[in-house]
Chain A
Amino acid sequence: MVEWTDFERDTIQDIFSRIEYDVVGPAALARCLVVYPWTQRYFGGFGNLYNAAAIKGNPMVSKHGTTILHGLDRAVKNMDDIKNTYAELSVLHSEKLHVDPDNFKLLADCLTIVVAAQLGNEFSGEVQAAFQKFLAVVVSSLGRQYH
């Protein structure tokens, strides 16, 4: 079981209560599609992903970005059992969506960058450590049911 310090718990609750989901979600997904363009393979039905401007302005990307970010809510509320919380989602990503689990880390890195840009200096080293630890647990849980 993952051990969380009080600081880590408070930090995660604080970050997710402060960020604007419909800004951060879309920005993180868009950034991922630009910085790691091979991730576009999962979004064939999303229309124009030709360049950064197109990706940023694509309404399907924005909507999906928000959806993904809200998907993290369950982990935020269940930090002591993220593994089981995401068992079903893990199966979905493996069996139905066929997403290479290495991609979860790429999106997590982009989310870190976007949150850092939003929070500025408040995104201290300690806050970054807590956030990255949280995302690492999420990423691990999402990859767990693959076989």
Chain B
Amino acid sequence: MTTLTAKDKQTVKAFWAKVSGKSEDIGAAAVARMLVVYPQTKTYFSHWQDQSPNSPAARKHGKTVMMGVGDAVTKIDDLKEGLKELSQLHAFTLRVDPANFKILSHNILVVMAVMFPTDFTPDVHVSLDKFLAALSLALAEKYR
């Protein structure tokens, strides 16, 4: 389910090249949506004074997450190796239940549809969905 074909990698890189300029906005919007649509995800951010979806902390977190996604695009040929340290961070420090990776991925896709309706074609959608799934798997690699 997570082997990316050459076409997938090409599609993801090309789409990312188009949208990466807005990566902060994408990240902020995806995190905001996640906090609103899946309120259980707020449990990971109890340390934020302001847990509202558009707070400075939430925006900053969106930026951080998308920087990770952008980095993963450059490591698309070996995500497991490339995301080794991030996986350790999520496994031992953050301990985010991997089910949440799927939730955030879904919201990233929704944001792509909202912000780039003509570019986010079904072909781009399937490759990006596969990429985010592969990314999530690589992030969960060190969990157990």
Binding site for B on A (CB under 8 A): 30-31, 34-35, 52, 55-56, 109, 112-114, 116-121, 123, 125-126, 128-129, 132
Contacts and interface: CB of A to CB of B under 8 A. Distances in A.
A125 B36 CA distance: 6
A52 B123 contact: yes
A113 to B, nearest CB: 5
B125 A113 contact: yes
A52 B122 contact: yes
B79 to A, nearest CB: 20
Interface residues of B, number: 19
B130 to A, nearest CB: 9
Nearest to B130: A35
Nearest to A122: B114
A117 B36 CA distance: 19
Contact of A117 (B33, B106, B113): B113
Contacts of A55: 122
A121 B35 CA distance: 17
Contacts of B125: 31, 34-35, 113
Nearest to A34: B122
A102 to B, nearest CB: 14
Contacts of A52: 121-123
With most chain B CB atoms within 10 A of its CB, the pick from A56, A112, A117, A120 is: A117
A126 B54 CA distance: 13
A116 B114 contact: yes
A132 B53 CA distance: 18
Nearest to A128: B37
